[in-house]
Copies of this chain bind each other. A is one copy, B any other.
Amino acid sequence: MLSNTQFSMAVHLMCALAWNEGKLIGSQDLAHSVGTNPSFLRGLISVLREAGLVDTRQGKGGGSTLARPAGTITLLDVYRALETSQPLKVHRPDCGSDCIVARRMKNLLHDLNEKLEDTLAIELKQTTVADLVTEYIT
């Protein structure tokens, strides 16, 4: 799935914005909460903005806010925004091998990846950012 911590940080970020829904929050405040630095976080925010999950305003007094109501943003939306690869990292089976197992492995792993992706999607779609805020943040 996600071999880096960006999904985790993005969830944190979205919850922070949802908790302050309506306000513009600067990357410095957000970075302090997430536990990273503003510059790195702005990169993550850019990705979420391109996915239509976050709005930002530049200039003095600028910052980030949710692009839509927190109740309409699911974890799947966040996941898809960051998705760069499939759930499984796949090795390089020797497709030209005389071993029949190797020749079929690519298809097998492709299908397995799709099945896991679907399963994850169904699970992630069931939770919205608003759900998380309601359940966990007082």
Interface of A with B (CB < 8 Å)? 1-5, 7-9, 11-12, 15-16, 19, 29, 32-36, 75, 87-94, 97, 99-102, 104-105, 107-109, 112, 115-116, 119-120, 123, 127, 132, 135-138
Minimum CB–CB distance for A114 against chain B, Å: 12
Please judge, given known A-B contacts A34-B91, A94-B35, A123-B119, whether A101 and B4 are in contact too, CB under 8 Å: no
B residues within 8 A CB of A123?
115-116, 119
**Chain B residues whose CB sits within 8 angstroms of the CB of A94 once the complex forms:** 32-35
Q: Is the CB of A88 within 8 A of B19?
A: no
Whether the pair A5, B120 counts as a contact (CB closer than 8 A) is no
- Tell whether, in the assembled complex, residue A8 and residue B89 are in contact, meaning their CB atoms are under 8 Å apart: yes
Task: Give CA–CA (A35, B99) in the complex, Å.
Answer: 11
Please state if B8 and A109 are interface contacts (CB–CB under 8 Å): yes
| Docked CA distance A22–B29 (Å) | 62
A106 to chain B, nearest CB (A): 10
Nearest CB on B from A123, distance (A)? 5
Does A5 lie within 8 Å of B136, measured CB to CB? no
| Interchain nearest-CB distance for A104 vs B (Å) | 5
Please tell me if the beta carbons of B5 and A35 are within 8 angstroms of each other in the complex. Answer: no
